[in-house]
Amino acid sequence: MRILQLLFAIIVILLLQDVPARGLSDSQQCRHDHGHCRRLCFHMERWAGSCSNGRLRCCR
């Protein structure tokens, strides 16, 4: 029974390690496309997507 608990704990840890990487993917994509993550885009910038899981805008 302890072996099953240990295997379950290892699987949960491995699954949780992937969560932050997916959460940052839109921010990384914005920076890769030469954009900036901001609340509001400045006058000469245009809105090109989202950052931080939709909380910020990707401005270029």
Domain that holds residue 31: 24-60
Within a domain: 8: no
Residue reference for tokens 């993917």: 25
- List CB contacts of 7: < 8 A, sequence separation 6 or more: none
- Centre a 10 Å sphere on the Cβ of residue 17 and count the other Cβ atoms it contains: 9
Number of domains in the chain: 1
Residue 18 has pLDDT above 60, yes or no: no
Provide the CATH number for the domain around residue 43.
Answer: 3.10.360
pLDDT tens digits along 33-54: 899 999 999 889 999 999 988 8
Report which of residues 2 and 23 the model is more confident about.
Answer: 2
- Centre a 10 Å sphere on the Cβ of residue 38 and count the other Cβ atoms it contains: 15
- Return the SS3 of 9: helix
- Return the SS3 of 59: strand
Within a domain: 6: no
Within a domain: 7: no
Within a domain: 15: no
Residue 23 pLDDT level (bands cut at 50, 70, 90): low
